[in-house]
């Protein structure tokens, strides 16, 4: 069964992710070697601009959806408890993929691909000009107070400043038309849940509030990749998640 994974088409969702508060997606310190900062952000090694790994956004959407659907956290990936099963009808695992914990379990590849998110040109230009002592970012002291000794443990946390905008591209592979509507609905509701949650670290301190501004959704059928003919491709203009949700029936009818 699992061998049959036809690509009926791809649905490409484009837009932007706006940081409404400072965003901290951490890099391993030894990998970054940025002097003085305790908790640096992840950066593109070539351009040195901060970016958002697609896996960070995807992982957060998955975890929010797992909790909303009250799935059991039966797997442990790198010390983080997640839900993972080999039921091909599981709404979480068919959308986000699963790696079975037992040998006899089947691997379910993800239908979702979330590209790494890079800053828009406008945001790069603005961040070139800020003077914080760090390139394109700001830093903030946060105090953790020891509850027993009352000793303060101040740490410098680097963050992408509020107002920064990242390009967003999410690709959904259509494998089963029966699942299409529900998968898209789950994806968009995960994005909406995230808007009322946070991305990255230190959300309880106010970090990581994001908003999605969409631009378009394009359905490219399998035949389009072979022929390039316009009849196999259709596009919907959407500006936000509400509009995307309202277009699902029309997308599924194409
Ligand atoms: Zn599952």
pLDDT tens per residue, range 109-167? 899 999 999 999 999 999 988 888 788 998 888 877 777 887 777 888 899 999 999 99
The arithmetic mean of pLDDT across residues 197-224, rounded, is 95
The arithmetic mean of pLDDT across residues 39-65, rounded, is 94
Three-state DSSP class for 86? coil
CA atoms within 13 A on the CB side of 150: 0
Q: Which residue has the higher pLDDT, 105 or 76?
A: 76
253 pLDDT higher than 90: yes
The pair of three-digit structure tokens given for residue 168, joined into one six-digit string = 């967003």
The arithmetic mean of pLDDT across residues 73-86, rounded, is 84
Q: Which residue has the higher pLDDT, 88 or 238?
A: 238
Distances, alpha carbon 112 to alpha carbons 57, 103, 227, 238, in Å: 11, 24, 24, 19
Report the separation in Å between the CA atom of 175 and the middle of ligand 1, taken as the mean of its atom positions: 17
Q: Which of 236, 109, 106, 214 is nearest to 172 (CA)?
A: 109
How many residues in the chain?
254
The pair of three-digit structure tokens given for residue 30, joined into one six-digit string = 């030894």
Q: What percent of the chain has pLDDT over 70?
A: 93
Report the separation in Å between the CA atom of 93 and the middle of ligand 1, taken as the mean of its atom positions: 4
Q: How sure is the predictor about 102, in pLDDT bands with cuts at 50, 70 and 90? A: low
Report the separation in Å between the CA atom of 251 and the middle of ligand 1, taken as the mean of its atom positions: 25
67 pLDDT higher than 70: yes
Q: How sure is the predictor about 30, in pLDDT bands with cuts at 50, 70 and 90? A: low
Q: Which residue has the higher pLDDT, 140 or 229?
A: 229
In the block, residue with structure tokens 């303060």: 152
Report the separation in Å between the CA atom of 190 and the middle of ligand 1, taken as the mean of its atom positions: 16
pTM of the predicted model as reported, rounded to 2 decimal places: 0.91
Report the separation in Å between the CA atom of 155 and the middle of ligand 1, taken as the mean of its atom positions: 38
Report the separation in Å between the CA atom of 137 and the middle of ligand 1, taken as the mean of its atom positions: 38
Window from 9-13, 45-49, 189-193 with minimum mean pLDDT: 45-49
What integer pLDDT is reported at residue 53 of this predicted model? 96
Return mean pLDDT, the chain. 90
Report the separation in Å between the CA atom of 79 and the middle of ligand 1, taken as the mean of its atom positions: 18
What integer pLDDT is reported at residue 16 of this predicted model? 98
The pair of three-digit structure tokens given for residue 133, joined into one six-digit string = 């002592």
Report the separation in Å between the CA atom of 59 and the middle of ligand 1, taken as the mean of its atom positions: 14
Report the separation in Å between the CA atom of 24 and the middle of ligand 1, taken as the mean of its atom positions: 29
Q: Which of 148, 160, 169, 152 is nearest to 214 (CA)?
A: 169
Q: Cα(179)–Cα(252) distance, rounded to whole angstroms?
A: 10
33 pLDDT higher than 80: no
226 pLDDT higher than 90: yes
Q: Is the dihedral of CA 63, 65, 68, 72 positive or negative?
A: negative
Report the separation in Å between the CA atom of 39 and the middle of ligand 1, taken as the mean of its atom positions: 33
Strands 75-77 and 80-82: antiparallel
Report the separation in Å between the CA atom of 109 and the middle of ligand 1, taken as the mean of its atom positions: 12
Q: How sure is the predictor about 1, in pLDDT bands with cuts at 50, 70 and 90? A: very low
Report the separation in Å between the CA atom of 92 and the middle of ligand 1, taken as the mean of its atom positions: 5
31 pLDDT higher than 90: no
DSSP secondary structure code for residue 101 in this structure: S
Q: Which of 87, 43, 18, 16 is nearest to 239 (CA)?
A: 16
Report the separation in Å between the CA atom of 102 and the middle of ligand 1, taken as the mean of its atom positions: 14
The pair of three-digit structure tokens given for residue 32, joined into one six-digit string = 């970054």
Report the separation in Å between the CA atom of 89 and the middle of ligand 1, taken as the mean of its atom positions: 8
What integer pLDDT is reported at residue 34 of this predicted model? 53
What integer pLDDT is reported at residue 103 of this predicted model? 58
Rg, Å, the chain Cα set: 20
Report the separation in Å between the CA atom of 162 and the middle of ligand 1, taken as the mean of its atom positions: 35
What integer pLDDT is reported at residue 244 of this predicted model? 97
What integer pLDDT is reported at residue 49 of this predicted model? 93
What integer pLDDT is reported at residue 176 of this predicted model? 93
Q: Cα(138)–Cα(158) distance, rounded to whole angstroms?
A: 6
Report the separation in Å between the CA atom of 210 and the middle of ligand 1, taken as the mean of its atom positions: 27
What integer pLDDT is reported at residue 148 of this predicted model? 81
Report the separation in Å between the CA atom of 212 and the middle of ligand 1, taken as the mean of its atom positions: 26
Q: Are 31 and 45 in contact (CB under 8 A)?
A: no
Report the separation in Å between the CA atom of 136 and the middle of ligand 1, taken as the mean of its atom positions: 39
Report the separation in Å between the CA atom of 43 and the middle of ligand 1, taken as the mean of its atom positions: 32
């Amino acid at each position: 069964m699992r061998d049959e994974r036809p690509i009926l088409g791809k649905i490409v969702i484009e837009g932007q992710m706006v940081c409404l508060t400072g965003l901290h997606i951490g890099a391993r310190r030894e990998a970054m070697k940025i002097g003085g900062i305790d908790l640096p952000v992840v950066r593109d090694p070539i351009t040195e601009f901060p970016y958002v790994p697609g896996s960070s956004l995807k992982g957060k959407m998955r975890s929010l959806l797992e909790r909303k659907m009250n799935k059991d956290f039966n797997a442990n990936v790198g010390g983080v408890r997640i839900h993972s099963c080999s039921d091909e009808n599981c709404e979480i695992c068919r959308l986000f993929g699963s790696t079975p914990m037992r040998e006899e379990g089947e691997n379910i590849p993800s239908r979702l691909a979330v590209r790494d998110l890079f800053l828009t040109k406008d945001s790069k230009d603005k961040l070139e000009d800020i003077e914080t002592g760090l390139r394109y970012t700001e830093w903030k002291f946060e105090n953790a107070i020891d509850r027993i000794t009352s000793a303060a443990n101040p740490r410098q946390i680097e963050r992408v400043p509020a107002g920064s905008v990242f390009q967003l591209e999410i690709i959904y592979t259509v494998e089963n038309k029966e699942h299409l509507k529900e998968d898209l609905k789950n994806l968009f509701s995960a994005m909406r849940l995230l808007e009322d949650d946070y991305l990255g670290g230190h959300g309880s301190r106010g970090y990581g509030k994001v908003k999605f501004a969409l631009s378009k959704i394009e359905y490219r059928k399998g035949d389009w990749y072979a022929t390039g003919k316009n009849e196999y491709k259709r596009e919907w203009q959407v500006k936000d998640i509400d509009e995307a949700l309202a277009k699902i029936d029309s997308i599924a009818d194409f």
